[in-house]
Structure 1
Amino acid sequence: MQTNSRLSGTISVPGDKSISHRSIILGALSNGTTKITNFLRSADCISTMGVFRNLGVQIDDTPAEITVHGVGIKGLQAPKVDLDMGNSGTSTRLISGVLAGQPFVSRVMGDASLSKRPMKRIITPLSEMGSEIDAVENHLPMTIHGTQLHGIQYEMPVASAQVKSAIILAALQADGDTTIIEPVKSRDHTENMLERFSPDSIEKHDHQIVIHPHHELAGQAVHVPGDISSAAFFLVAAAIVPGSEVTIQNVGINPTRTGILNVLKRAGASITETNRTTGVEASADLAVKATELKPFTVTGHEIPGLVDEVPLLALLAARANGVSKITGAEELRFKESDRISVIVTEFKKLGIAIEELPDGFIIDGSKPWHLNDAKLNSHKDHRIAMTLKIASLLVDQPVTIKDFDSIKISYPTFNDDLAKLRS
């Protein structure tokens, strides 16, 4: 382990990425202004802002807040340029739901990484609703021929907050009600925020969501809590680096996002929650102390609540005293990188005893690490980059991480926050 790798102190992480995206989208579709504080100014969220500006929405960006001058569901303008989603799968899938019901044609594009990610999962339900979408082998670039949509009943084949949200945003423009049935409850930020912007538009019943169109959205004041997916890097770091004690303030604790906390506790981590508050989403301060960790199992039913944190859970398992198993995470193969394959490849460079499964990993944390290769590779995946940086705290030799600047996608100030805890 590196000298002085112990982490100590208090930090606040940037605003939640999922909520930041949705605040721009729902604000743009509202009547009146939406004021957003603690907005995440990451590359992905800036892509969402840029797209809506190209759709005729005025968005003012000052250090204190973002102000979205909503144009209403029917007020978007036909874009004069291709809509560039950058690297953002969230922007692509959610905004496609909006575009499907607009009276114009849009061409959606993204960077090389995003262009490899599957879009059939949204093309299928949006096509059932009446939209015509042209894509080469179900990948970007994608041309969306907006039209009058029809309400449908859609039973989702897999739990996906992005797909669900695309359908919800399309359903707001349909000619009748839409019912969405989830096999497992996924992130519900869109539903929670829609209840604030337009309470008459949505009903929720267990695993079923009903969208009632023809109700206007009204602009809101949105304070974005800290992103638990960003906080997770320091939660896990504090749990695995001996002698660490870290507090992270104002972390969003939406129950559909707190799977990471459940697993940490199951592994024996010491976590204390204080200063709980409520708003658009609940938040709290989370304090973690390093402890002896025990092995754990994660299966498919938990994955929707912690899908972004699986690389970190693999790292947690690599420090637990025994064999841990993570399964049901095949969705990770379709993220910014094939995160299952990449984690196995890079962890083996660190001498971690890890075995690749089709849908996850088996990791023996009881075995010591032996650095085999100091040249690590993020594969241009922001979550891999930050996971490897946390792992490097437990290596007694310097390592390099190729394309580490990919962290700008979700957490531009990650290095600064890590430095605060190491000083």
Structure 2
Amino acid sequence: MSNAPSSPAAKARASRAAPLHGSFAAPGDKSVSHRALILGALAHGSTRIRGLLESDDVLATARAMSALGAGIQRDQIETGVWTVQGCSGRFVAPSEPLDFGNSGTGARLTMGAVAGAGISAQFIGDDSLSSRPMRRILDPLEAMGVKAGSRDGRLPVILEGAQLTAIDYSPPIASAQVKSAVLLAGLGAAGETIVRESRLTRDHTEKMLRLFGAELTVEPESSGGAVIRLAGPQSLTAAELTVPGDPSSAAFAAVAALICPGSSITIRNVMTNPARTGLYRVLERMGAAIRFDNSGTAAGETVAGLSVRASRLQAIDLEPDIAPDMIDEYPVLAVACAFAKGTSRLRGLHELRAKESDRLAATHALLVASGVEAQIEGDDLIIVGADTVRGGAAIHTHGDHRIAMAALVLGTAAEQPVIADQAGMIATSYPGFTGDMNRTGAMIEALP
């Protein structure tokens, strides 16, 4: 089979596969890769990163760090090994706009880092990123003293350098990106920056800040949230780290193995941070045969091997509170629900409307086009499962990598092939997707 399409507009087709077997290593985690580059660029000294995800999104962040004055070098022999010569907290004002392409994480976290460094910069992105909300980042940064200009709270955004003052901030939405931007800005702010989370979100930034020598405290609250405190200004020290495997990327092969009868696969080096494994907990509730074993650590995160066997899934009525732990996995969870016995209801998916596409609408359209009975009620997605799914659809992915991958996963178990119209966008998060899937026996091919 061919590799992933080489251009964003290229198509790919997935056909019904024989049972999937074999193993592969999960690609480097995208969230951790962004943070490793940004903190390495802020730090004093030379940071060595192994297992960096070399996706379009992460490479956009690498280019931005270079434009801000960091020395960024990729090893010419070993894949995924990068060296970052840090700026000791002294970014230089870039001569051109920082272009983050499709990367919301890279843009939002870098806004916090740039604000903390006290320099001016302009942030731009592609059409998809330019439609996504940035006000959730700009509001707390402006409260800290940043002057920000934007197009109605969206890119392009201009930040003007200023001396920051720490704030005590309670994000109105559960967002690791918002929390991280405030903490990164707090590195350069006078006073103690406090972020009060009403609901825990992924804590990669807190763990990695400690890895780079920052002092901060995390105080759990009985309500289920936490209070994070960081006294500024602080400087960072270079580190050596290995990026753990991405559980969000591993989710696609895992679901494919669950819905293709007779399948059994193993995915190595998957990060098991509880804030990132919500999908796997949900699948277990649905009856999935999933097992994590052979645990270890990487970059302060726990990792394990993930074994998955084909399973007869049961429908689920899923509470909205779990959304922050699996916000990127809902499209592929919806595919699993299409093959489950009974009617599933995925509740409270309003945040999916603010992703690379309106993922709620796009996921619904993917299912319906493939012959699955599904409907949207408010912010809930209702899916009627069946033993077989027709497929036979050409899916409009809206340039969204996770919609494209979910469509192709559905095609591996559907009666008729499924085509993703812009499969090249998969490279924004998982450039090795087609190769990894086909190594286990999937039938995914590029189309002219």
TM bracket, shorter-chain basis = over 0.9
Match of 2:326 among 293, 299, 306: 306
Distance 1:182 1:418, change over 3 A: same
Q: CA deviation at 1:2?
A: 5.2
Report the 3-state secondary structure (helix = DSSP H, G, I; strand = E; otherwise coil) of the residue aligned with 1:92: helix
Whether 1:359 and 2:373 are equivalent positions in the alignment is no
Match of 1:205 among 209, 215, 219: 219
Q: Which runs of 5+ in 2 are unaligned?
A: 1-13, 221-225, 443-448
Match of 2:36 among 6, 23, 40: 23
Structure-2 separation of matches of 1:172 and 1:85: 22
Whether 1:44 and 2:57 are equivalent positions in the alignment is yes
The C-alpha deviation readout for 1:150-169, integer Å capped at 9, x for no partner, is 11111111100111110010
The C-alpha deviation readout for 1:197-250, integer Å capped at 9, x for no partner, is 1242x1100111001113321111110111000000011111111111010001
State the structure with bigger RCO (CA 8 A, min sep 6), 1 or 2: 2
Whether 1:141 and 2:160 are equivalent positions in the alignment is no
Q: CA deviation at 1:366?
A: 3.5
Whether 1:235 and 2:241 are equivalent positions in the alignment is no
Aligned pairs for 1:164-183 (under 5 A) are: 164-183=179-198
2:340 aligns with 320
Whether 1:111 and 2:126 are equivalent positions in the alignment is yes
Structure-2 separation of matches of 1:168 and 1:378: 34
Is contact 1:2-1:395 (8 Å) kept?
A: yes
Is contact 1:351-1:369 (8 Å) kept?
A: yes
Aligned pairs for 1:39-188 (under 5 A) are: 39-62=52-75, 63-64=77-78, 65-73=81-89, 75-188=90-203
Is contact 1:101-1:131 (8 Å) kept?
A: no
Return the letter of the residue paired with 1:78.
A
Whether 1:336 and 2:350 are equivalent positions in the alignment is no
TM-score by length of 2: 0.91
Structure-1 separation of matches of 2:110 and 2:291: 37
Match of 1:297 among 317, 340, 345: 317
Aligned pairs for 1:379-418 (under 5 A) are: 379-418=398-437
Calculate percent identity across the aligned residue pairs: 40
Structure-1 separation of matches of 2:284 and 2:15: 26
Report the 3-state secondary structure (helix = DSSP H, G, I; strand = E; otherwise coil) of the residue aligned with 1:232: helix
The C-alpha deviation readout for 1:127-164, integer Å capped at 9, x for no partner, is 11110100011110011012111111111111001111
Return the letter of the residue paired with 2:60.
S
Structure-1 separation of matches of 2:258 and 2:23: 15
Q: CA deviation at 1:320?
A: 1.0
> Aligned-pair RMSD on alpha carbons?
1.4
Aligned pairs for 1:277-292 (under 5 A) are: 277-280=296-299, 281-292=301-312
Report the 3-state secondary structure (helix = DSSP H, G, I; strand = E; otherwise coil) of the residue aligned with 1:250: strand
Count matched residues: 420
Distance 1:114 1:185, change over 3 A: same
Whether 1:223 and 2:236 are equivalent positions in the alignment is no
Q: CA deviation at 1:291?
A: 1.3
Q: CA deviation at 1:191?
A: 0.5
Is contact 2:278-2:325 (8 Å) kept?
A: yes
Return the letter of the residue paired with 1:315.
V
Is contact 2:250-2:270 (8 Å) kept?
A: yes
TM-score by length of 1: 0.97
Whether 1:273 and 2:321 are equivalent positions in the alignment is no
2:279 aligns with 260
Structure-1 separation of matches of 2:37 and 2:349: 29
Is contact 2:296-2:303 (8 Å) kept?
A: yes
Is contact 1:198-1:215 (8 Å) kept?
A: no
Return the letter of the residue paired with 1:122.
I
Is contact 1:353-1:367 (8 Å) kept?
A: no
Report the 3-state secondary structure (helix = DSSP H, G, I; strand = E; otherwise coil) of the residue aligned with 1:28: helix
